Every structure is written in C-alpha cells, then in structure tokens.
Chain A
C-alpha cells in the first residue's frame, strides 16, 4: 500500500511536471451542468519517463522507500532530477519573505475546518453541520492566502444545494405527471369499452352496417390519439426522472473532479477539506470515485468528434396490434428505431489526431486517480505528514551544518508539498543559505562536467567550508585519479618528444587532453614538447649540414644542443662524437701552438701548426695560428716551403740543401730533420 501511495504521489508530481508537454488541445468536454467552478477542464497527461532522458520506461517501476528515489526500467530516478521541479525550487529558495502571520492565520482556519468536519460529527449531526462549517469555509475562501481553493469548495457545496433544490421541484412535477398518466389510462380504458349507446350492426340493413363501421373507425382514431398523448406523458416522466439523477450525479462528479484536481495540484490540505465536505454531502462519502468512468466516457466522445460514418442504418419499424381483450378493445403500437453508424472515418485528420492524443492522455490520467475518496484522503494525509517530517529533518540538518542532506530533504518536501504551510513558511534565511549552497554545488558540477578541475576544486573547497556532508567526496577522489592519469600521459608525451616520436607524443597529449582538457600544465607542456621536437628536428638538420661542411668548431660550440638532437639516431650521434673528438684534438693542437707562440717559439709553433693542419685540414684556427707563426719566422718558413717545392719537383739535392738551411735557422726543426733524413736516404740509395 505504501508503495502504491509512493507511486501515486510520484505520478502526481510527474503529471504536474509534464502538464506543459500535453498536446495542446483542450479536452472540449463541457463541465457538468451546474458544476461550473470545479477542477481544470484539461487534465494533464501522464509523462513518459519521469526525468530520464532514456525515454519511455518499460515494465513496472520498483519504488524504494518514500520519495528518495525510484528505479524505473533499470535506471535510478530521483524526484529532484526533474528540471522543472529544480527551477521551481530555485524560485522557491529566492522568493521574498512571506507573511508568517497570514500563513498562521490561514492554517488556523484550515485546521479548524478539519477539526469540525470530524467523521463522527458528520455521522451524528449530518447536514446540520453545514451551518457551522460554512462560515469558516467562507472566511477561509476570502483569506488572501487561499488562492481560490476554499472558494471552489464553497461553490461546490452551493452547486450541490442547487441541484437538490432543483430535484425537489422536479419531484412535484413527477407526481403531477403520474396523476395525468393514470387519468389518461382510465380514459382510454373507458373509451375502449363498448358503450350502451354504441351503434350495433344489423344483418339486414346495409346502412346500419355502414354506420357501425364508421363508428368503429372513429373509435380507433380516438384511441390512437389518446395513445399518443399517453406516450408523450410517459416520455416526459422518464426525462424528468432522469434529469434529477443526472443533476445530482453531475454535482457529485463536479465535486469529485475538484477534489481530484486539488490532489493533482498537490493542494492536500484542500483535498482533506473537500473530501470531508463530500462525506458530509453524499452518503457514499468513502465510496468509489466515479470520475474515472466519466473521464473515459468523455474521452470516448472526444474520440468520436470530427469523425463521420460512411454508412448509416436509420430503420424505423412500427408494429401495431389491435384486438379485443378482457377489458375491451386494445391497441398496441410499437416503434423500433435503428440509428447506427459504421465505417467511421476522420473528417479533419489532424484535429482528430489531437483529440485522440487528448483522449489517450485522459485515459492515462484516469488510471492514476485513486479508486475511492478514502484513498485520496489517505494519500493526501500521508503526503502532508511526510512533508512535515521532511521539513523538520531539514531544520535538523541545517542545525548540524549538513547542507547537502538539508537541501535534498527540502527539495523533496517541496516537490510533494509546495502548497503546504510547513513548506511555504520555511524561514527565508535558511532558504538563502541553501541557495548559496546550491550555487556552489552547481559551480562544482559545471567544473566537473567541463573537466575544469581547477574550478571544480575551488568550488569543492568552498563547499567543504559550508557543509560537513560533502557531496563530492567521490568526485574528489576521481579528480585525484584524473590528475594522476593526465600527468602520466604528459610524462609519456615528454618522453616521446625527447625521443623524437611525434606520433606517440601527439597520441599521449590527446589522451591527456581527453581526461583533463583544462589541465594548466597541458598547454605549457605541449608547447614545450612541440618546440623541443621542432628543435630536435632542426638540430638534426643543422648538425648534418655542419658535418657536411666539416664545421667542427661550431659543432663543438653547440654540442649540448646537437647531443640532445641526435640522441635518438645512433648513426648521427656517432658522427657527432667523431666530430667532437676531432675538434678536441684540434683544440689540443691549438693550445700547444698558442703556448709555443707565447713562449716566443714561432718556428716550433709553425711546425706544430703544420702538423695540426695535416691532421685537421678544415680547421681555420690552426690555419690562422700557422699564419701568425709564419709572420714571425718568414725565412724558416720560406726554406721549408722551398724544400717541399724542390721535393715535389724531384730535386732532392736542392731540397736537402734547403732543409739543411732551415735546420740552420731552427736547429730543433722536426720538419727539417725528417726531410733531411728522408732525402739523405733517398740520395744515398742511388
């Protein structure tokens, strides 16, 4: 039973939510005659899937306890997930302070009414109780807080009284009609009886036979007229009897409709009041809600609208019998009329479709309405109690600084009982506190949704200061995971960049961006990596060019860059190492030469430069040093060069003489020594 009640309440809320989604056609069904001030002309449709974006739920929902949530079609659905409820709740949190005195006053009137409409007082005092409660109802209907709800009940009571007054007058008419019918029947029976003065036929006289026939014909005509009049009276009697029933039923249905309307609109206080009045006015106070049948009937009528038949059967069969019975002549005439349509088609398809949708909606609503007034009352009372309990719980949570729980409970209480006094009179300061809390939660959620973890973290820290029941504990740990995983991908991307693996680097950067797009390290890291990668590519190009040019000096100067650039290419790295080694040796030569020059030994410096250049012919520094040295020992250089020239011209003797001369200038000359030795050997060998 509890589960059913929960479902009903949930359905109510969802009905209201989806009211705006109803296919916008009025149901067109006129309110019952006399029941003018009653419930909404259009009953809202049952929504398809609550707040779920998944669509139409299938199967039976499995409600959990209370309004905490419903599992529907395998998905968990909370009442507060519905956006319209959320936006209404936001408006509620921000609405200006109400007058608590007004609320208190109105609540007092309502309680007074319910107190006086006690079921046992109704039983004992009956309709006399109306005299006591109607002034209270009137006062409540005039209260600014009422919003027309008590006025509706007041009017419904009035309509019921009117229908009963009308029934009385019709009863009088019925009595009169019955009398008339009796009179007519008596007259007919007299007319049918053979009279003493009636002309009798004579077998001998043809004129008397003719007169007899004439008299009989006249009698039959009179009977026929009397028959017609009798039938008319019967019809009137039947119609008058039916209208009494119809008017009473209409008033009752109108009150039921109003109660159901209040129920659907969550005005549970007024449901309680109205059901109490219903119990007072009608003997089946706890009886069946006939509104469902009415709705379905209306729905069926709607479905017929704008449709026409393609074939009709309007046969009328009349049979008449006349005869002589024990009481005399009688005449019976029976008329049978057939009036059937078949082959229904739609005259205006779109309008018919709209009406069809309304019909379907009404049938769905009808399925939600409880079967009895008692059930309506019970569900309403339960809703009121639950709402009050929730509001008390909210106060308790706020006192303990548990704003998340307080927010949820208040939202649930609002979803069910937004019209109830306990919800309406909830203190504004608390509402504002929860509103601020809600904004912070929204900010945190927005940050999480957009994966801006920095923003989300700030919002969560603010929430942590506001409340003790942090709703984002799970998200916070997830954020930790996200930052870790993103950092891992970034590290992998960096490593790929150092290796020059652009493809892997891009892939890892993409993964890092997917997980945490707003990562502040991401943009910086990717720029650096790309830069590094570009530098690496450029570095390799530069290195290759320099190796080709044998510009080992520049390679040495930029060795750090080139080592980094070529680290992933073993062949290039080997070439670089060789170049650096070569340049190292050249530098050693250079150092020695400079030392010799510093010591004032240009001959030795020149010789060293010569040797160095023979090993490092591309080294411009050595060339320069050689040039510097040669300036300081021109004769010696001249002799050596001439000696080399003579050697090349195959003039060993002259070369030998020149080497000897060079040695004379620079006795330590290794070049001269070597030249002399080789030439001497050559000359001696001949």
Chain B
C-alpha cells in the first residue's frame, strides 16, 4: 500500500534512481566495450597451461594480448603461423597462433601488440578470429 502524500516525491526519486541505474549500466557497458565489443565474454587464455598441453583448448574461444614474436611460416591454403609473446604466471610465453587466409588483410609485424581472439583447432592450435591492434 503506497502513501499518496509522499507519492510525487517518491515517484521522482524512483524515476531518478531508475535513470541513474540505466545510465550507470550503459556507462558500464560502454566502459566494458560497449554494445559493439566482440571480445566481450571471451576468456583469457592461460598461456602456461597451453604450453603444458594444447589439446584441452580444442574448440574453445580465447583471447589474449600479446606482442608478435616471430613469423613461423605461411601456407597458401591455410594461412600464416605467428608466435605471440604473452605474459603469464610463469613469465613470458610464446603462443603460436594461425592467422587464416580469411584474415589475410591483417599482416602483423614483429613487435606489434595485438589483442587477439582465438579459437582452438582440433589439434589444439589457436586459430585467430579477430585481431585488434593495441
């Protein structure tokens, strides 16, 4: 049962609160990447664990931030294999990642920092889905 005398004041207050929350939510979404961030919700890869065994990472999507370490090779029908130096609990670890031909317009250079979204292949190799230069 709501009290009328206090009804107008309570309504404003409520409205303000709701607006505030919405603003905060939107801000938060924006802060977190906004409604347009594809990395949102993607787990960061545990590079140390990957180095121990890559197979558990089959089929999963991961992200990491790393610096291009070296070009490991290119295959026409497959893509380019790049290693990224990634920080981990055990220090810097190089993660190999395949940049498929579909992303051929991307040409990372050594020393460049990227945010990478990868998916694990059936043999555990990380295949790059998205690259954002940092």
Residues of A within 8 A of B (CB): 642, 646, 649, 651-654, 656-658, 660-661, 663-664, 676-677, 680-681, 683-686
Cβ contacts under 8 Å, A681 to chain B: 73
CB atoms of B123 and A686 under 8 A apart: yes
Partner of A657, one of B70, B73, B78, B94: B94
Bound CA span A676–B70, Å: 11
Stretch touching chain A among B2-10, B34-42, B48-56: B48-56
CB atoms of A680 and B81 under 8 A apart: yes
Partner of B96, one of A660, A664, A677, A685: A660
Bound CA span A239–B84, Å: 169
Partner of B54, one of A654, A661, A684, A685: A654
Least CB distance from A651 to B in Å reads 6
Cβ contacts under 8 Å, A660 to chain B: 69-70, 83, 94-96
Bound CA span A649–B93, Å: 21
Give me 6 other A-B pairs in contact (C-beta within 8 A), A658-B51, A685-B78 excluded: A653-B50, A653-B125, A657-B50, A660-B69, A660-B70, A680-B81
Cβ contacts under 8 Å, B125 to chain A: 652-653, 683, 686
Least CB distance from B12 to A in Å reads 59
CB atoms of B55 and A651 under 8 A apart: yes
22 contacts between A and B (CB under 8 A): A642-B51, A651-B123, A652-B54, A652-B124, A652-B125, A653-B50, A653-B121, A654-B50, A654-B124, A656-B72, A657-B50, A660-B69, A660-B96, A663-B94, A664-B69, A664-B92, A664-B94, A677-B73, A680-B72, A681-B73, A683-B81, A683-B125
CB atoms of B54 and A683 under 8 A apart: no
Least CB distance from B66 to A in Å reads 12
A656 and B93 in contact, given A651-B124, A684-B73 (Cβ under 8 angstroms): no
Bound CA span A652–B55, Å: 9
Cβ contacts under 8 Å, B30 to chain A: none
Cβ contacts under 8 Å, A686 to chain B: 78, 121, 123, 125
A657 and B72 in contact, given A651-B54, A684-B78 (Cβ under 8 angstroms): no
Partner of B95, one of A657, A676, A684: A657
Bound CA span A649–B126, Å: 18
Bound CA span A642–B50, Å: 12
CB atoms of B54 and A676 under 8 A apart: no
CB atoms of A685 and B53 under 8 A apart: no
Measured CB to CB, the nearest residue on chain A to B72 is A680
Least CB distance from A221 to B in Å reads 179
CB atoms of B54 and A653 under 8 A apart: yes
Least CB distance from A652 to B in Å reads 6
Bound CA span A646–B96, Å: 14
Partner of B53, one of A654, A677, A684: A654
Cβ contacts under 8 Å, B52 to chain A: 642, 654
* Most central of A657, A660, A685, A686 by chain B CB within 10 Å: A657
Cβ contacts under 8 Å, B54 to chain A: 646, 651-654, 657
CB atoms of B96 and A683 under 8 A apart: yes
Cβ contacts under 8 Å, A649 to chain B: 53
- Chain B 73-112: CB-based contact to A (< 8 A → 1; otherwise 0): 1110011010101000000111110100000000000000
A653 and B123 in contact, given A646-B53, A684-B73 (Cβ under 8 angstroms): yes
Least CB distance from B97 to A in Å reads 10
Least CB distance from B24 to A in Å reads 41
Least CB distance from B83 to A in Å reads 5
CB atoms of A661 and B93 under 8 A apart: yes
Bound CA span A677–B123, Å: 17
Measured CB to CB, the nearest residue on chain A to B78 is A684
A657 and B93 in contact, given A651-B53, A684-B74 (Cβ under 8 angstroms): yes
Bound CA span A661–B90, Å: 11
Cβ contacts under 8 Å, A663 to chain B: 94
CB atoms of B83 and A654 under 8 A apart: no
CB atoms of A653 and B69 under 8 A apart: no
Bound CA span A684–B121, Å: 12
Cβ contacts under 8 Å, A657 to chain B: 47, 50-51, 54, 93-96
Q: What are the 8 closest A-B residue pairs judged by CB atoms, nearest first?
A: A660-B94, A653-B54, A684-B75, A653-B124, A654-B54, A680-B72, A680-B73, A653-B125
Bound CA span A69–B130, Å: 134
Cβ contacts under 8 Å, A684 to chain B: 73-75, 78-79, 81, 98
Cβ contacts under 8 Å, B81 to chain A: 680, 683-684
Bound CA span A680–B74, Å: 9
Bound CA span A661–B85, Å: 9
Bound CA span A686–B75, Å: 10
Least CB distance from B127 to A in Å reads 10
Least CB distance from A645 to B in Å reads 10
Least CB distance from A70 to B in Å reads 118
Least CB distance from B131 to A in Å reads 18
CB atoms of B123 and A683 under 8 A apart: yes
Cβ contacts under 8 Å, A642 to chain B: 51-52
Bound CA span A676–B74, Å: 13
CB atoms of A683 and B51 under 8 A apart: no
Bound CA span A413–B70, Å: 125
Least CB distance from A46 to B in Å reads 125
Cβ contacts under 8 Å, B121 to chain A: 653, 686
Measured CB to CB, the nearest residue on chain B to A663 is B94
Cβ contacts under 8 Å, A652 to chain B: 54, 123-125
A685 and B75 in contact, given A651-B54, A652-B125, A660-B96 (Cβ under 8 angstroms): yes
Measured CB to CB, the nearest residue on chain A to B74 is A684
Bound CA span A244–B121, Å: 166
Bound CA span A646–B93, Å: 16
Measured CB to CB, the nearest residue on chain B to A649 is B53
Cβ contacts under 8 Å, B72 to chain A: 656, 676, 680
Cβ contacts under 8 Å, A680 to chain B: 72-73, 81, 96
Measured CB to CB, the nearest residue on chain A to B47 is A657
Bound CA span A451–B93, Å: 93
Measured CB to CB, the nearest residue on chain A to B126 is A653
Bound CA span A661–B92, Å: 8
- Chain B 8-46: CB-based contact to A (< 8 A → 1; otherwise 0): 000000000000000000000000000000000000000
Measured CB to CB, the nearest residue on chain B to A658 is B51
Bound CA span A112–B71, Å: 148
Bound CA span A657–B72, Å: 11
Least CB distance from A686 to B in Å reads 6
CB atoms of B98 and A683 under 8 A apart: yes
Measured CB to CB, the nearest residue on chain B to A664 is B94
Bound CA span A654–B54, Å: 5
Cβ contacts under 8 Å, A656 to chain B: 72, 96
CB atoms of A654 and B51 under 8 A apart: yes
